[in-house]
Structure 1
Amino acid sequence: MDFGFLTGCLQGMTLEEKMAYAHKVGFTSLDVSCWPRDNSRDFSGSDIDVENLTDEEVEKIKSDQSKYKIKFSSLAYYDNMLYPDEEVRKNYSDHLKAVISAAQKLNTPLVGCFIGKNQTKSLSENFDEFEIIFTDFVKYAEDHNVKLMIENCPMPGWQEDGLPGTISYSPELWDEMFKRVPSKSFGLNFDPSHLDWLHIDYLQALRDYKDRIFHIDAKDMIVDDKKFSYYGIFGKKLNREHPEDLGFWTPVIPGLGDINWAQFYDVMKEIGYDDCLSIEHEDRRFAADNAEVEKGLEFSFNHLNPIIHDFK
């Protein structure tokens, strides 16, 4: 099984430097952040300028991959593909297609994205738009020998009220998603941490959607039951410290939260999953600078590596 991390957590480093670091630690893959160069999203990055990718750059990247023995598990670009403003949405759409084209050039099998949500329309209308837009995206991906996957994050930080900013965060919504776009080239980048704070059984979901799980994000979560009882299921509404602050849950690096990774890995083996496990580092306690980020990545590497490689 390949083991890596999403590259956007390390800032101010070249992609080659990130590959060298990953190889030094013992990682075998990277989920490469490919947001636009002009971008201000938190927890993002632009390690490949996909819109201006030249043949020479492709060969350099492939040479570095060989040098550092690093696979690319996915190219990552997560934005609101149903954004209400048509011009903004087109920019997002054009960039996603550029990411897909880059994935083909780099022999990367997967591209990760969000669906998002148009908050001015009903859920039914959102799914109607999703069906049109993502049928096109998935066809474009198939034409480029790439599979498209959705991460199951609700993105409450996209809405002032903290309610979901995507239509793809639960098994109920996945069923509608796959009914509307049934292609086997369309699946999930499965993140158990979001299911945990939503009080969804992530182990059962792992079993139930095994045929649609293309990639797994290793991210952990602390859920404070006392604060949950205070704020309720819709979360904190007043005096939020940052857009994702719903009061009762905190994203942390794997090994410092509620997820039992040994148990999770047993279910991964049960369903025959043997692709990539990729750390998504969003722990604000290990984010002051790259040295702190690396501490977090290496802690999680040392926690997960013995589990996923059955070291005794």
Structure 2
Amino acid sequence: MQLGFVTAILPELSLEEVLKTAADFGYDCVEAMCWPPGKAERRYAGVTHVDVSKLDDRGADEVRELQARHGVFISSLGYYPNVLGAGSAGEKQVAIDHLHQLIDASASLDIRTVTTFVGRDKDRTIDDQWEDFLATWRPLVRRAEEAGVRIGIENCPMRFTADEWPGGNNLAVSPAIWERMWEAIPSPSWGLNYDPSHLVLMQMDYTRPFRDYPERLIHVHAKDLRIDREKLDRHGVFAHPALWHTPKIPGLGDVDWGRFFGHLTDAGYDGPVCVEVEDRAYEGSKELRLRSLRQSHDYLRQFIV
């Protein structure tokens, strides 16, 4: 396995500066954010460390040269829009077109992995939007197959606050839905960008996906999460999760990382594990965000030699 981090936490740095930081801290790789340049829609969005819309042969050579210079590789090109959301058809098509560009860029750069969300219209049931899901994702998966690229879907529910209810902004939140997706689009070119913290939130065994779907593990996030029991006892599980849980960096939440990596290695996974920092305790300054990456590296390196 290789230890990396998601570059969204360092939006003010260039790709070269991100790779140098990763090398200085001892990381092996980074998941490079590739949002279209522009205003962010939410926290950790809108970050562009590789602009795939302008990636020509010269730009691709520069990206490859930077990785070689710093000894840090790009594990995936990441972009997390909601291509099934309730926005206009034009807005959704822009996001879909950008995902196609990511697939092409990932092939051109020989990264061969794209990480993203499936998306969801939060105001419709799964069955009501299933045909929209198929119409959107069959062409994307076909494009990935043709390009020799794998798509890793993150399992985040995107259902934390009032404006994301009732259904949340991502379909791919549970094994039952993953299996339905893979049955409908039976391709080895897509699987999971797996984050254990989301199963902690949903009170599920976060090691089961390793055992049940080892062949579907394309990319892995390392993010921790703490269930605040007193707040949960006050608000209950049917309240917005933002009222009773706290995202944390690895080692400061409820994930047992020894158990996590024990099952991950048993499953034969030998790919990237990228720290995703969404811990507000470390957001107050650039220095704190850098500290979160160094601290996460030093904690997780005991499991990834």
TM-score normalised according to structure 2 size: 0.95
Match of residue 225, structure 1, among 209, 226, 229: 229
CA 1:192–1:13 in 2, change beyond 3 Å: closer, same or farther?
A: same
Partner of 1:235: 239
Count of residues in correspondence between the two structures:
301
SS in 2 for 1:112: strand
- Report the secondary structure of 2:163's partner residue: coil
> What is the correspondence of 1:32-181 to structure 2 with a 5 Å cutoff?
32-40=32-40, 41-44=42-45, 45-84=47-86, 85-157=88-160, 160=163, 162-163=165-166, 164-181=168-185
- Runs ≥4 residues deviating over 3 A: none
Shift of residue 291, structure 1, vs aligned partner: 1.2
Q: Residues 91, 159 of structure 1: CA spacing in aligned structure 2 closer, same or farther, 3 A cutoff?
A: farther
Corresponding letter in the other structure for 1:282: E
Cα distance in 1 between the residues matched to 2:55 and 2:208? 41
Q: Distance in 2 between matches of 1:296 and 1:152?
A: 23
**Of 272-281 and 222-231, the range deviating more from structure 2:** 222-231
Give the C-alpha shift of residue 75 in structure 1. Answer: 0.4
- 1:161 is displaced (CA, Å) by 5.5
Deviation at 1:165, TM superposition (A): 1.8
User: Shift of residue 206 of structure 1?
Assistant: 2.3
Question: Gaps spanning 5+ residues in structure 2: where?
Answer: none
Q: Could you tell me how far apart the structure 2 residues matched to 1:74 and 1:101 are?
A: 12
Q: Distance in 2 between matches of 1:154 and 1:122?
A: 14
Kindly state the Cα deviation for residue 186 of structure 1 after the two structures are TM-superposed: 0.8
Report sequence identity in percent: 32
What secondary structure does 2:242 align onto?
coil
2-side partners of 1:24 and 1:155: how far apart? 33
Task: Say whether 1:216 aligns with 2:217.
Answer: no
Match of 2:194 in 1: 190
Give a deviation string over 1:271-297, Cα, whole Å, max 9, x none.
Answer: 111111100011111112221111001
CA contact (8 A) 1:76 1:112 kept: yes
The DSSP-based 3-state class of the residue aligned with 1:115 is coil
1:11 is displaced (CA, Å) by 2.1
Query: Are the aligned partners of 1:29 and 1:73 in contact in 2 as well (CA < 8 Å)?
Result: yes
C-alpha deviation, 1:205, in angstroms: 2.5
1:258 aligns to 2:259 (yes or no): no
In the TM superposition, what are the counterparts of 1:7-18 in structure 2 within 5 Å?
Answer: 7-18=7-18
Which stretch of the first structure deviates more once superposed, 69-78 or 120-129? 120-129
Please say if residues 31 and 73 of structure 1, whose CA atoms lie closer than 8 Å, have aligned partners that are also in contact.
yes
Q: Quick one: structure 1 residues 118 and 158, their matched pair in 2 at CA, closer, same or farther if it must change by over 3 Å?
A: farther
Matched to 2:69, the amino acid is K
CA distance in 2, matches of 1:228, 1:53: 47
Contact 1:34 1:76 in 2 (8 A): yes
Residue 193 of structure 1 aligns with an amino acid whose one-letter code is S
Q: Is the 8 A contact 1:65 1:71 kept in 2?
A: yes
Query: Which whole-Å CA distance do the structure 1 matches of 2:12 and 2:78 have between them?
Result: 18
Amino acid at match of 2:256: N
8 Å CA contact 1:188, 1:214 repeated in 2: yes
**What is the CA distance between 1:234 and its match in structure 2?**
2.3
Larger mean CA deviation between 90-99 and 160-169 belongs to: 160-169
Contact kept, 8 Å, 1:157 with 1:165, in 2: the verdict is no
Further displaced range: 278-287 or 204-213? 204-213
Deviation by residue 1:223-255 (Cα, 9 ceiling, x = unmatched): 12232232222224xxxxxxxx62111101011
Distance change in 2, residues 1:119/1:307 (3 Å):
closer
Change (3 A) 1:265 1:120: closer
